[in-house]
């Protein structure tokens, strides 16, 4: 069996390649999720300013996806899919990808959740405006999602907002 990195010369020769791969991976992951974040927990307050003394504007539930606008100390200014913005303490947020149904706000109709990523696939459920799902994976304009109730399936990407 061959042992990798058996002496200092080999380590030094391979280190720049290893470092390049690691940095590229970290940068790619960072850019992929840097603009979005999600709520960690239920009844999380969105505030007018970066502190607990500021007025509460909205309350969000677990997984609610948000766009990062800016950071100030331990507070992050965010915007939701309805374009409301405010501040949330960073300890109440995480990078677990989630999406929210963004269509049919005024007509109460529901979107289809399908067994696979195609309109020809069986409908396994329906969801209305504002329902949050955990993102599992993406494929050809579809997102594989899972609801906290356990229901999972595929939804057309253009019906959702988030990451």
Beta strands in the chain, from DSSP E residues, in sequence order: 36-39, 44-47, 56-60, 65-72, 75-79, 85-89, 93-94, 98-101, 111-114, 123-127, 132-139, 142-146, 152-156, 160-162
Average of per-residue pLDDT values in the chain: 86
Residue 6 has pLDDT above 80, yes or no: no
Dist. CA 128–CA 52, nearest whole Å: 32
Provide the pLDDT confidence category of residue 108 given band limits of 50, 70 and 90. Answer: confident
What pLDDT, on the 0 to 100 scale, is given for residue 67? 98
- Look at residue 140 and tell me whether its pLDDT is greater than 70: yes
pLDDT at 127: 97
Q: What is the number of structural domains in the chain?
A: 2
20 part of a folded domain: no
**Residue 51 covered by a domain:** yes
pLDDT in tens, 14-65: 445 444 454 444 443 443 445 999 999 999 999 999 999 999 999 999 999 9
Expressed as residue numbers, the domain containing 112 is 99-162
Residue 126 has pLDDT above 90, yes or no: yes
Identify whether residues 116 and 84 lie together within a single domain: no
Please tell me whether residues 145 and 117 are part of one structural domain.
Answer: yes
């Amino acid at each position: 069996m061959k042992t990798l990195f058996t002496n200092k010369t080999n380590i030094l020769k391979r280190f720049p390649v290893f470092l390049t791969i690691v940095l590229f991976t970290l940068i790619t992951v960072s850019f992929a999720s840097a603009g979005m974040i999600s709520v960690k927990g239920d009844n999380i307050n969105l505030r007018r300013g970066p502190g607990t003394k500021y007025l509460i504007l909205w309350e969000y539930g677990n997984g609610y996806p948000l766009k990062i606008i800016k950071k100030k100390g331990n507070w992050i200014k965010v915007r939701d899919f309805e374009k409301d913005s405010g501040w949330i303490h960073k300890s109440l947020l995480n990078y677990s990808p989630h999406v929210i149904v963004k269509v049919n706000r005024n007509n109460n109709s529901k979107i289809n959740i399908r067994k696979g990523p195609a309109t020809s696939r069986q409908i396994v459920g329906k969801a209305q405006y504002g329902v949050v799902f955990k993102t599992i994976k993406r494929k050809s304009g579809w997102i594989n999602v899972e609801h906290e109730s356990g229901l999972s399936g595929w939804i057309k990407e253009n019906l959702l907002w988030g990451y």
